Structure 1
Amino acid sequence: MDKYITRSVRIFRPTRTTMQAGARHPQIWRLEWDFTSSRHWENPVMGWTSSGDPLQATYINFPTLESAIRFAEKQGYSYQVEPDSTLSKFAVKSYADNYRVETMNPSKISHTK
């Protein structure tokens, strides 16, 4: 049982799925147990990776980063927080901006006559 207490965990914000195209996606933080290479093996027939680790495919979602850190500290896990992977907002511009002389690369402007 001590091998599960000494595990390290990874805390991160999961990326949105393709079904979540809107801007109002859930702001959850996920806690996953780190990969331990000593408990995995590859099936020689199918090539699948198998594991004897019961925590490998489990995760816990938290509403805030602080609650995920508090849980990891309370359980005695060493943890690593990954930076937020959400994309920043991009500047909206029109299609005509691609052809403005001020913004074009001078080498792409062709002069005739």
Structure 2
Amino acid sequence: MFARIYRPAKTAMQSGTAKTHQWVLEYAPEQAKAIDPLMGWTGSGDMRGQVKLTFDSREAAEDYARRHGIPFQAYEPKERKHNIRAKGYGANFATERRGAWTH
């Protein structure tokens, strides 16, 4: 029963950073997933794979794991670089634009 502690990255379907400020404790799979021969569905007998705990800080997640005797590995998040435009978004549609309009 090994766990990993991380802060999730933003999804590709969102432009903001919602749901990326909390830390997550997630168990590593103990069994490989198997394909059901009758229906073809993928399944596993590993019930801990469904558990995902969220914490406000990394220290809280690590304290929880230590208190319950769960071996863990914590991962540092990769900070996102800000996209700073020189003149802002409106410069994309400026009328005094000298170059050709391309997308």
Aligned length: 88
Corresponding residue to 2:22 among 18, 28, 31: 28
CA 1:90–1:35: 2 relative to 1, 3 Å: same
Please provide the CA RMSD for this pair.
Answer: 2.4
- Match of 2:61? 68
1:82 paired to 2:82: no
Residues 10, 31 of structure 1: 8 Å contact kept: yes
Residues 29, 48 of structure 2: 8 Å contact kept: no
Deviation at 1:81, TM superposition (A): 1.0
Residues 72, 79 of structure 1: 8 Å contact kept: yes
* Structure whose alpha-carbon radius of gyration is higher: 1
Deviation at 1:37, TM superposition (A): 2.8
Structure 1: segments with no counterpart, 5+ residues:
1-6, 100-113
More helix by share: 1
TM-score, scaled to structure 1? 0.64
Residues 13, 85 of structure 1: 8 Å contact kept: no
1:16 paired to 2:4: no
Q: Which whole-Å CA distance do the structure 2 matches of 1:43 and 1:85 have between them?
A: 38
SS class of match (2:80): coil
Tell me which amino acid in the other structure corresponds to 1:22. G
